[in-house]
Chain A
Amino acid sequence: MKTDIKVLLLGLTALVIFLLYSLSSFTIGEDDTEIRKADFLALATPAEEESLVSALPADTIHEAMAETVFQPDTTPKKIFFFGDSMVDYLGRPFESYAAKNGHEIESVVWFSSTTQHWAQTDTLQYFLRKYDPSYVVICLGSNEVEARDIKRRQKWVEEIQQKLGDLPYVWVSPPNWTEEEGFTNMIKEAVGADRFFDSSHLSMERGPDHKHPTYEAAVGWMDTVASWMQSPASRYPIIMEKPEEKVRVTHLLMLKPYKLRKKKK
């Protein structure tokens, strides 16, 4: 057989191997040792459809709500606010908002955490049982915003959603200071545009570590989030009027980074 035909057969055989593995129901290895599948499905999914999915919810909601006189839910809520280190920044002004509007709030900061941590441990279930919230706010993603394994992370986002069940929740995206591969959009599509506050367009002063906003900037961030939370753009609009004064932060629990805690054991 001629060499060029052999090379063609080599390419075709490799393609068939990747295709069969991609279509198979099993996966070899798991997590870090997983042999991942080539995304043949993406080839057969027209890009136009994808863009429609992300564009549709927000537009229709605005149209539907435009002609009605809008009132947010004014009943006091038990808010559970959790996520990564950004919660440390947003959680402080959030307590002042909660005090002003009659809500109770419990915030849990899990430093360095990602969607995987909250999805694959029972930490979230533990706090849901402990606080029994009626409203949940998530601020998670700053440690994985440049992630490229979007599909894998989508599964973790879905696991978090499953844990939340029927609880009303909103997801606040981290401020995005670098280029990303679609992580923010993935969360937006997974939770729905009306349960997603996109912080990536906000301009905030960065703190000395350059990873987080300054505490002053985080107050402005919270003002914008609160304004959205009580607007018709949010699926569960609740009263979030701006507080005149700051309250002392007493309901902010801090969890150590997962890896460090493991090492200490």
Chain B
Amino acid sequence: MITFQQILSSLKEYFTLHEGGLQYCTLTFFITFLVFYAIYILVRRGQRKVMLGYVVLFSIFYAYKANGWFMLLLPATTLISWWLTRLMQKLPDGGKRKGLATLTVIIVLSPLLYFKYTNFAIQTLNNIIESNFAPMTIFLPIGISFYTFQAISYVVDVYKRKFPGDTSLLEYTFFLTFFPLLMAGPITRPQTLIPQLKQNLPIDKELIYSGLFLIICGILKKGVIADYIAQYNNWIFDDPTGFSGFENLMGVFGYTMQIYCDFSGYSDLSIGIAAVLGFRLLPNFNSPYQSLNLSEFWHRWHIALSTWFRDYLYIPLGGNRKGKFRTYLNNFITMLFAGWWHGASWMFIIWGAVHGVGLMIHKSSKSWLDKLGKGAAVSLISWIVTFCYVAFAWIFFRASSVENAVEVITRIGNDFSIDYFVPFITARPVWSAFIAVAFIVHLVVKEKTFYRMQDLFVKIPWILKLLIFVICVQLVINFRLESVQPFIYAQF
């Protein structure tokens, strides 16, 4: 029996502890959000500024739960970037304006460089000059990569006069701290969110229920599929030599689906929560594994990030305006930085380089490829090549080291036997079923079908929505506790 004292201690713990933050697919977040939402409904009907202030306060608390007192970096970044941008936008075009914009970007970028890349720099230096500098104990604040990029897009867009710099401090703070975007984006442009903060938007039934639909999709992708299939994929990448080539290949395909379900599920949840609150954000994924080439893949995968790099790095580098060679080089450099953005490790840079090379190959052979036409056979081959290349690149993204990645590839190459197929699916039927269903749904459901399903969900009765929601959450509860069989040696 729980005592009153225990409940008080738990509440105290809830408000003071800040390990890892409020993860979406948890009971704690569910309850917290319902309390927040109940008050939000009341506040929303009042003054716009009060609503904005309320969401900002909750977002700061959310940031505190994720980062403890390191969350102070967030309001600090907000204040500095807002104030400097305000100064900059009053200046006429010229050196001073450009200088101040550059300075603001550098200041905004500095915490990210320090917290995320200092140890990477130390280790790289140690490797190059064979020194022995000890790595520093540095806490990496959750979400810093995302809000830093949002702040940069605001500064640059105001500098380029693509966005007016008349945003109030409250609106800007909301834009940078908005809690659904805080942990893992999607990186939202000022043009998308800030105009929605300037007026009292009517309660849009379609938007709110579409948001609920996205939340349900996100729960299924992140809380059920990704978290469950991750167990097996982790064993493979922890110790690829302990498994056969077939099992390693399944681990690679498993991870390919896991990272999609994890990240796009998270994006669905973020966009869905924002929609339930009345804010319309842009989609971040569009069935990326349906792509027939690598350029198309990057138009469908993590759209917020790829368009950010396109607008703030690729185009400033010259884009495709300076000849073919520079176009390929700019693509490659952009992908290197995109890889590096994901984490301070050479593995992410290698992943970016693999994609950079792939994009260069695709762009250089595009005229030749176009001559092949768009028949079913060409499409099928294009899809297979693209999918396998993307899956191959994920090995470097997931592996802990180059040796680890090479081991996975070697096992697949040297120890592959289709004889493992039946024992594999017999030993891990649920895992295999999840992967099969996830791939089939991903490949079959087109954009139009998805929006049709969304529209249908908006129209069905409330009780049916409740039933679907309860079933999905129950699936999370059940599969969160379900384990995949670790070893199948008993089957041989």
State whether the Cβ of A112 lies closer than 8 Å to any Cβ in chain B.
yes
Which of A144-152, A222-230, A238-246 sits within the interface?
A144-152
One of B44, B212, B482 near A10 (C-beta < 8 A): B212
Contact A179 B6 (CB under 8 A): no
Contact A36 B481 (CB under 8 A): yes
Fill in one digit per residue for A28-68: 1 if any B CB lies within 8 Å of its CB, else 0.
00000011111111011111110000000000000000000
Chain A CB within 10 Å, residue with most, of B28, B231, B481: B481
State whether the Cβ of B368 lies closer than 8 Å to any Cβ in chain A.
no
Instruction: Tell me which residues across on chain B come within 8 A of A39, comparing CB atoms.
Output: 27
Contact B30 A177 (CB under 8 A): no
With A11-B30, A147-B483 as given contacts, are A211 and B2 in contact (CB-CB < 8 Å)? no
Contact B2 A44 (CB under 8 A): yes
Fill in one digit per residue for B1-45: 1 if any A CB lies within 8 Å of its CB, else 0.
010001101101100010000000001101101100110010010
Within the complex, the shortest CB–CB distance from B205 to chain A, in Å, comes to: 4
Chain A CB within 10 Å, residue with most, of B204, B473, B483: B483
State whether the Cβ of B133 lies closer than 8 Å to any Cβ in chain A.
no
Which of A14-22, A96-104, A192-200 sits within the interface?
A14-22
Instruction: Tell me which residues across on chain A come within 8 A of B49, comparing CB atoms.
Output: none
Contact B27 A36 (CB under 8 A): no
* Interface residue ranges of A93-119 to B (CB < 8 Å): 111-112
Contact A210 B9 (CB under 8 A): no
Instruction: Tell me which residues across on chain A come within 8 A of B205, comparing CB atoms.
Output: 3
Contact A4 B27 (CB under 8 A): no
One of B28, B44, B212 near A7 (C-beta < 8 A): B212
* Interface residue ranges of B451-487 to A (CB < 8 Å): 462, 465-466, 469-470, 473-474, 477-478, 480-483, 485-487
A152 CA to B491 CA, complexed, in Å: 25
A18 CA to B31 CA, complexed, in Å: 12
Within the complex, the shortest CB–CB distance from A213 to chain B, in Å, comes to: 13
Contact A179 B234 (CB under 8 A): yes
State whether the Cβ of B396 lies closer than 8 Å to any Cβ in chain A.
no
A144 CA to B205 CA, complexed, in Å: 47
Contact A47 B13 (CB under 8 A): yes
State whether the Cβ of A178 lies closer than 8 Å to any Cβ in chain B.
yes
Instruction: Tell me which residues across on chain A come within 8 A of B28, comparing CB atoms.
Output: 43
State whether the Cβ of A12 lies closer than 8 Å to any Cβ in chain B.
yes
Within the complex, the shortest CB–CB distance from B413 to chain A, in Å, comes to: 18
Contact A15 B37 (CB under 8 A): no
Within the complex, the shortest CB–CB distance from A45 to chain B, in Å, comes to: 6
A206 CA to B243 CA, complexed, in Å: 13
A37 CA to B136 CA, complexed, in Å: 43
One of A15, A45, A150 near B30 (C-beta < 8 A): A15
Chain B CB within 10 Å, residue with most, of A41, A46, A259: A46
A147 CA to B482 CA, complexed, in Å: 7
State whether the Cβ of B50 lies closer than 8 Å to any Cβ in chain A.
no
With A7-B208, A111-B490, A149-B481 as given contacts, are A44 and B6 in contact (CB-CB < 8 Å)? yes
A248 CA to B31 CA, complexed, in Å: 61
Instruction: Tell me which residues across on chain A come within 8 A of B486, comparing CB atoms.
Output: 143-146
Contact A177 B470 (CB under 8 A): no
A165 CA to B446 CA, complexed, in Å: 60
With A3-B209, A14-B466, A38-B477 as given contacts, are A46 and B2 in contact (CB-CB < 8 Å)? no
Instruction: Tell me which residues across on chain A come within 8 A of B27, comparing CB atoms.
Output: 38-40, 43
Q: How many residues of B contact A (CB 8 A)?
A: 53
With A14-B473, A36-B481, A149-B482 as given contacts, are A45 and B234 in contact (CB-CB < 8 Å)? no
Instruction: Tell me which residues across on chain A come within 8 A of B203, comparing CB atoms.
Output: 2-4
State whether the Cβ of B192 lies closer than 8 Å to any Cβ in chain A.
no
One of B31, B238, B487 near A143 (C-beta < 8 A): B487
One of A45, A149, A257 near B10 (C-beta < 8 A): A45
With A178-B238, A209-B242 as given contacts, are A146 and B34 in contact (CB-CB < 8 Å)? no
Instruction: Tell me which residues across on chain A come within 8 A of B473, comparing CB atoms.
Output: 14, 18
State whether the Cβ of A69 lies closer than 8 Å to any Cβ in chain B.
no
Contact A13 B10 (CB under 8 A): no
Instruction: Tell me which residues across on chain A come within 8 A of B231, comparing CB atoms.
Output: 146, 148
* Nearest A-chain residue to B204, judged by Cβ: A3
* Nearest B-chain residue to A37, judged by Cβ: B477
* Interface residue ranges of B325-366 to A (CB < 8 Å): none
A58 CA to B232 CA, complexed, in Å: 34
Instruction: Tell me which residues across on chain B come within 8 A of A206, comparing CB atoms.
Output: 242
Contact A8 B6 (CB under 8 A): no
Contact B34 A35 (CB under 8 A): no
* Interface residue ranges of B30-87 to A (CB < 8 Å): 30-31, 33-34, 37-38, 41, 44
With A4-B203, A6-B462, A8-B38 as given contacts, are A146 and B10 in contact (CB-CB < 8 Å)? no
With A15-B30, A146-B231 as given contacts, are A210 and B241 in contact (CB-CB < 8 Å)? yes
Chain B CB within 10 Å, residue with most, of A44, A48, A150: A44
One of A34, A35, A40, A46 near B9 (C-beta < 8 A): A46
State whether the Cβ of B224 lies closer than 8 Å to any Cβ in chain A.
no
Contact B465 A210 (CB under 8 A): no
Within the complex, the shortest CB–CB distance from B318 to chain A, in Å, comes to: 45
A145 CA to B466 CA, complexed, in Å: 36
Within the complex, the shortest CB–CB distance from B428 to chain A, in Å, comes to: 13
Chain A CB within 10 Å, residue with most, of B10, B205, B469, B490: B490
State whether the Cβ of B415 lies closer than 8 Å to any Cβ in chain A.
no
| Further contacts, 10 of them, CB under 8 A, given A7-B208, A146-B483, A148-B480 | A2-B41, A10-B466, A11-B33, A14-B466, A45-B6, A45-B10, A46-B6, A112-B487, A112-B489, A259-B490
8 CB-based A-B contacts, threshold 8 Å: A4-B208, A10-B466, A14-B473, A39-B27, A40-B27, A43-B27, A178-B234, A209-B489
